[in-house]
Amino acid sequence: MADTIAAISTASGAGAIGILRLSGPEALPIAYRHLSFFEGAFPLSSIKPRNAYTCRFVDGEKKLDQVVFIYFAGPNSFTGEDLCEIHTHGNPILLREALECLFRSGARPAKQGEFTKRAFINGKIDLNEAEAIGRIIGARSRFELELAQKNAFGEISRLASNLRSQLISLKAECEAEIDFSTEDLTFESLEERKKRIRSISDICSNLLKRSSETETLLERSRVVLYGEPNTGKSSLMNLILGRDRSIISEIPGTTRDYISEDFLLSGVPIRLIDTAGVRETRDKIEKMGIERSEKEFSQADVRLFVIDVSQKNDWNKFAEENRSKLEGAIVAANKSDIRDPSWDPQYILKKNYPGTVLVEVSCKSRQGLDTLVSEVSVKLQGLESSEDYVLLEERNRFHFSSITRSLENCLTLMEEGAPAEIYIKEIDSALEQIGEVNGRVDTEEILGRIFSKFCVGK
C-alpha cells in the first residue's frame, strides 16, 4: 500500500488508555514528527522495533500528552507493514486532537476494517481468520466468543486445507487414469473412488448442519415458562426481566397467548417466553393459547416448569402424570413462603428424572430467585459448551454448499457411467470453491463487503 493510514483503535468514550494506530510506509516518520523524547535529541534511526518509549506527544511547540510509543517494523507487524501505536490517556477530545495532528502530517483516515484488510492482503492472516476477528470484537456471548476464537486460531482454515488436499489427490488419480489409460497401470476401483468422494461430501454436509444449529443457538436461546394458571409464571417473568412485562391477575386464564421478550442473561442472548396457563377449558380462544403453550414448551432450549406449592396437591401423582414435562426441566416451586403441608420437594426429586432441577422460589419475597436464574444460566452454558458446534460465515456456507452440490453431481455422473473426463469437471469445481474458503479472492467488491463490517481502527 502506497499510503499511510491512521485511526483511533480503542472504543469510543472515555477510558484509562486510548490507542492511536498508524500503518504504511510513512508510519514511523509521521509519528516521529509528533514525539518529544525525554532524553533530548533522539534521532529517528535510534528507534528500535518492539521497544516501548515513554515520551510526549506534541503539536509543534504545544505538548498534548505523555504517551507510550511502540514501533513494529514490517513485515513483522499485524498488518505486515510498518505499524506504530501511540498509547495516550483515554480522553476522546485528546485522542481526536492527536489524530488530527497525524492527518496534517500526511496520514489519511483509515476505512472500516482497513488494518485487518491490509493484514489479509499482506498474507499475515487468511480470510477466515480475518472474519473471526470481526466476530471476536462483536461476540454477544461467551459461546460466540469461543467459536470465533477457534476460527481465529485457524480451525476452519485447517479443515479447508485438509479437504483441498484430499480433492487434489482425488483429481490427480482421475487425471492419471485419463492420461495413462493405455498403460499397464493399476488405479483405484470406481467404488473406492466413490467412497472417497462421499466421505468429502459428508464432511461438508455435516459441517453445514452443525453451522445451522450454531446459528440457531446464537440467534436466541428460548427459555419458556410453563404451568397451570395462577402458579406465578407472569410474576416470575417480570422479576427475571426486572420490570413489568406480563399482566398479573388472580383471574385464571389472564394470559391467552404467549408473551416473549429478548434480553441478555449472564451475557447470553435469550428469548424469555411466558405462556398461557395450562388447564381444561371450553373457551376456544384460551384453548388455542394452551395449544401454543404446549408447542413452545416442547421446542424450548430451557424449560421452566412453574408449580404452585401453596395449594394442597397429591404431588406424587402430579410427578407421575407430568413426567415427560419434568424430565430435563427446571422446576420453579413458587409460593414457597406459604407452602401447603402437602408439599415436599422429595416427591419430585426422588423420581430421579434425567436433568430435572428443582428450585423453591417466592415471587413475593424474591426468595430463591438468584438460584433460579443461576440454574437457567447453567442450563444455557450446558447447551453452549459442546465441541460439536462450528461457526461458519455466510460466505463459507455458500462455498461448502457448492462443494457438496459438485460432489453429489460427480457421484451421479459416475453412477450413470460417465467417463472420468466428464465427472472430473465437478471435482475441479469443488476445488475452486474450497480455494475460496481460505480467501483466494481477488475482487474488491467481496473484500469491501467483508471488511466494511469492522470498526474503524481495526
> Has 293 been labeled as part of a binding site?
no
> Has 232 been labeled as part of a binding site?
yes
What element of type H or E holds 380?
A: helix 369-384
Whether 455 and 435 have beta carbons less than 8 Å apart is answered as no
> Has 24 been labeled as part of a binding site?
no
Angle between the N-to-C axes of helices 190-219 and 394-415, in degrees from 0 to 180, rounded to the nearest 10:
150
> Has 234 been labeled as part of a binding site?
yes
> Has 231 been labeled as part of a binding site?
yes
> Has 249 been labeled as part of a binding site?
yes
What element of type H or E holds 93?
A: helix 92-104
> Has 21 been labeled as part of a binding site?
yes
> Has 56 been labeled as part of a binding site?
no
d(CA 66, CA 6): 19
d(CA 24, CA 34): 17
DSSP annotation of 112 reads: B
> Has 79 been labeled as part of a binding site?
no
> Has 80 been labeled as part of a binding site?
no
Q: Which residues pair with 65 in a beta bridge?
A: 57
Whether 306 and 334 have beta carbons less than 8 Å apart is answered as yes
> Has 275 been labeled as part of a binding site?
yes
> Has 233 been labeled as part of a binding site?
yes
> Has 186 been labeled as part of a binding site?
no
> Has 250 been labeled as part of a binding site?
yes
* Upstream peptide bond of 25 is cis (omega within 30 degrees of 0): no
Whether 205 and 405 have beta carbons less than 8 Å apart is answered as no
d(CA 112, CA 451): 7
> Has 230 been labeled as part of a binding site?
yes
Q: Which residues pair with 302 in a beta bridge?
A: 223
> Has 124 been labeled as part of a binding site?
yes
> Has 255 been labeled as part of a binding site?
yes
> Has 122 been labeled as part of a binding site?
no
DSSP annotation of 44 reads: G
Which residues are part of a known binding site for (6S)-5-formyl-5,6,7,8-tetrahydrofolate?
Answer: 21, 85, 124, 458
Query: Residues comprising the binding site for GTP?
Result: 230-235, 249-255, 274-277
Residues annotated in a binding site: 21, 85, 124, 230-235, 249-255, 274-277, 458
- Binding-site members for K(+) are 230, 249, 251, 254
